[in-house]
Structure 1
């Protein structure tokens, strides 16, 4: 089922499957900012990544001597959430652990995703609760895809990514879907990044992020843009399909990251993994501003 929230200026559509943002429009400009999930290119809009971000080495991980399998980005994006609150301009969804989820992820949890429209954008709120009496390990991330170009008269290469603050960040390259720490370099995010499809020939661009960050997609040929802002996310991925040339770019704040090429497979040692005490709650949020 789809849930619609709106203000005088904005309208968003949210799917109960995956608690996924499926549409975000400015009413005054009639521009759709979210990729409409054409399966010929990529079948998703803005999936929630949980309980892992990225890929596992050999598709498996171990915890307390037992081996488990999880697909890339985990299972939350493919599960039906419960709508727990809806207002005119906001909605919240909940996913709880089940006997089925514990077969692949042996933790008791409650994941709540909240969406609130206001001003020129949408705030997305993540809350993870450990509902067990022992610690849990998890990662969580966002994967919103934005239509590029935003206007039919423009092209993909008319746009650029504008990082703020303008400073260099550690770039973490991927090798067969895993982080290759030996090849990490200083990424030139102290200036704008011109968009072209070749940029993604080696998969996503991944950077370490600390403190307040924003990544905007802009063009000099139009005032319309989209900005993703966040504070408490350790990494960001910038991605589009390659060699298929799709009309979208993802800006992805992550608390967690793919396994490294040197990963031991032990979940407690995983790069970027979060440890949550019994009955404790983890909370973070990010914002999408559309002009």
Structure 2
């Protein structure tokens, strides 16, 4: 377990999956991150790579060859190397191996960088294509889960809300089972805060089309001054999720550079909706920030 710390926050990150597992306030020891109770969901904040969401029948093709890969990819279940570590900074790295090539026939280097600055934790993804002649296709995303309520015994799920800025009506991409149905986008009015209710998630995650516009989602309550604010600069989508019908005491705010297969997907990875590419020797850089208050 790798620890970062400053005068405001104590942070823990597991080398397994480069997964953020704990963010605590130094002053009052409030734990912001969901603690992975398997009764509800046994993860904290997995890294989603090289896919976000589910593939049709958990399989896809590249150059006519079929490969199998389960939801959200394999990075979340692999051990990363720690290549840098200071009090306020750590870099985790995963490289392609014989094991990954069985599921994903491409070379890659994935780095996840965590940087702590006062009340802010920045998370940065760098996907590098080491190949000299093959283009690397992929998706990537985050899945951080936050305790609701933040203080045990102080409030309930419905006492919290998610405020989205810019305040406007967003296009929402519905899910049909685990697959996206972008042809039947809905409109979700977020000009006012969205009060949390478990029934919001009866069709799985709420997926907002951000169109790469800088967006902040704030999880907060009228009962106290504590919450989190997640900011994305250049993401196509964000997911808001809590497991249903379980009445789980957490909600996820998920920055996505990718999305589950479309209901009409042909299975060819290159045709996959919201796939990104890194050319030979190129890198792809994205990230997000979480402010804890």
| TM tier, smaller | over 0.9
1:193 match: 194
Tell me how far 1:168 sits from its aligned partner: 1.4
2:240 match: 238
Residue 281 (structure 2) pairs with residue 282 (structure 1): no
CA distance in 1 between counterparts of 2:140 and 2:256 reads 6
CA distance in 2 between counterparts of 1:87 and 1:176 reads 43
Residue 205 (structure 2) pairs with residue 204 (structure 1): yes
Segment of structure 1 superposing worse, 250-259 or 190-199: 190-199
1:201-233 C-alpha deviation (Å, 9 max, x unpaired): 110000111221010101111110111101111
Tell me how far 1:285 sits from its aligned partner: 1.1
Alignment of 1:65-76 (within 5 A): 65-76=64-75
CA distance in 2 between counterparts of 1:230 and 1:261 reads 27
CA distance in 2 between counterparts of 1:9 and 1:182 reads 45
2:162 match: 161
1:247-277 C-alpha deviation (Å, 9 max, x unpaired): 0000000000000100011111111000110
1:9 match: 8
CA distance in 1 between counterparts of 2:169 and 2:28 reads 34
1:6-49 C-alpha deviation (Å, 9 max, x unpaired): 00111100000000000001111211000000011100000000
Segment of structure 1 superposing worse, 43-52 or 97-106: 97-106
Structure 1: tracts of 5 or more residues without a match? none
- The one of 217, 220, 223 equivalent to 1:221 is 223
Tell me how far 1:90 sits from its aligned partner: 1.1
The answer to whether the 8 Å contact 2:7/2:118 transfers is no
Tell me how far 1:169 sits from its aligned partner: 1.4
Tell me how far 1:183 sits from its aligned partner: 2.0
User: What is the CA RMSD across the aligned residues, in angstroms?
Assistant: 0.8
Aligned-partner SS, 1:32:
coil
Relative to the length of structure 2, the TM-score reads: 0.98
CA distance in 1 between counterparts of 2:155 and 2:190 reads 24
1:125 match: 124
Structure 2: tracts of 5 or more residues without a match? none
Tell me how far 1:181 sits from its aligned partner: 2.0
The answer to whether the 8 Å contact 2:235/2:257 transfers is yes
Residue 266 (structure 2) pairs with residue 264 (structure 1): yes
2:102 match: 103
The answer to whether the 8 Å contact 2:119/2:292 transfers is yes
Tell me how far 1:190 sits from its aligned partner: 2.3
2:19 match: 20
CA distance in 1 between counterparts of 2:114 and 2:80 reads 14
Tell me how far 1:191 sits from its aligned partner: 2.0
The answer to whether the 8 Å contact 2:168/2:190 transfers is yes
CA distance in 1 between counterparts of 2:183 and 2:79 reads 39
Matched residue pairs, number?
290
Relative to the length of structure 1, the TM-score reads: 0.98
The answer to whether the 8 Å contact 2:6/2:87 transfers is yes
